[in-house]
Amino acid sequence: MVQFLFLFAFGCGTGSRYVGDRDDLAQIFEENPSWHDSAIRSQKKWRVPISIMMAIIAQESSFDPKARPARTGGFLWIFPGSRPSTAYGYSQAIDGTWDSYRESTGNKWAKRDNFQDSIDFVGWYCHQSAVKCGISKNNAYYLYLAYHEGHGGYNSGTYKSKTWLMQVARNVDTRARLYASQINNQANTKKTRSSCLWPF
């Protein structure tokens, strides 16, 4: 409920797809007003905190709708190398997982460079992680590990040999906690301003 109050402080409109400071969730929603509606819908649908979904997107794409993995290899900077995966868009979902999402949800026209579809995907995937891996929907650290490794990889413990990945997951957890704190602060500020109004 507190996360909803925070988001209602912002107006509706078309998102500008611009993010100046990834660590300031209030600024992110001010710069992209339509995103808060999408975040609310996804949280209501999948029961995953907005702070966690936004932290995952921040890590995966820095909120760039056209983000792709960097090319590897190549020759003399003339012939570009191949990309290591088909990851694309806000969520960096790969082709196969995105197709599974569209089939599972019936959202067959979903696009990875659309923020509403992307945050719904992140909520859906975290919900699947809770079901298939037994991860709490409030645990950003383990949700991100499952997001990165896949459910099979997570259950097999593939992340345990990847110290770099566990550090990235800690970073996601730290950002999610920061976002949650900002949400609470904004909601408390809104309540305080309302209580200061004259009752007549």
Listed in sequence order, the DSSP H helices in the chain are 2-7, 25-31, 35-46, 50-61, 95-105, 115-133, 140-156, 163-195
Neighbours of 74 (CB within 10 A): 11
Count CB atoms within 10 A of the CB of residue 134.
9
Taking only the tens place, the pLDDT of each residue in 103-162 is 999 999 999 999 999 999 999 999 999 999 999 999 999 999 999 999 999 999 999 999
pLDDT tens track for 15-25: 446 677 899 99
Q: Where in the chain are the domains?
A: 2-65+112-193
**Model-level pTM greater than 0.85?**
no
